[in-house]
Structure 1
């Protein structure tokens, strides 16, 4: 999918292998622990880690074949986001975590998928 120098632009979103019509900007997080510094009265003591939920989030285009009910009740799915630079983000054991609200002006639905784990493949 990617040219050697391409870093952004065209993406592909798949839910259990089915292609969804991705719109605009997507964000993702691999769910690795978030590090925050711990400061004492004298100096920095180190850091603490807290878990994060891995996710893929963006907007899709609503179409006749898409069931909003099936989308918002999605569970135990595999979500893949193929990036323009050749990377693939895979979200495993995922569920739909958005509101399920559609927009009639451009036929878009905001979606957020969260899962138990995510990985980045180059």
Structure 2
């Protein structure tokens, strides 16, 4: 069965190669500079670039073997997000940047990892 037209759906989140139980929708940013227009009284003068932090953000399911403190103190990890259409996002030298709040109704932990660099791999 071909999946040539598949664009979304199943995804996988790994922290230093360890598969996590990912939930719902994830967002990511490669950390490329953000461009913003410079406008004067006489019109557009050009743009400026400001740095952005590369990140991967979403939610995982809490489980018996997962220690919240260990998750919250992660630093220097490689985070990979494998998407349904075959693209993988790799965030390197990453740290946990979330609050550490757990929602008991669905055993959900919102997670955010920020890092030094990110790249898109096909």
Q: Sort the TM-score into its range (normalised by shorter chain).
A: over 0.9
Unpaired stretches in structure 1, ≥5 consecutive residues = none
**Unpaired stretches in structure 2, ≥5 consecutive residues:** none
Let me know the Cα RMSD of the aligned residues.
0.9
Moved >6 Å (runs of 4+): none
Counterparts of 1:75 and 1:19, CA distance in 2: 17
Q: Distance in 1 between matches of 2:112 and 2:28?
A: 9
Deviation per residue, 1:68-111 (Å, 9 max, x gap): 11000000000000001100000000000000011110101000
Offset of residue 118 of structure 1: 0.2
Q: SS at 2:110's partner residue?
A: strand
- The two structures have a TM-score, normalised by structure 2, of 0.97
Per the TM alignment, residue 65 of structure 1 is displaced from its structure 2 partner at its CA by 1.1
Normalised TM-score (structure 1): 0.97
Tell me, in whole angstroms, the C-alpha distance in 2 between the residues paired with 1:102 and 1:38.
42
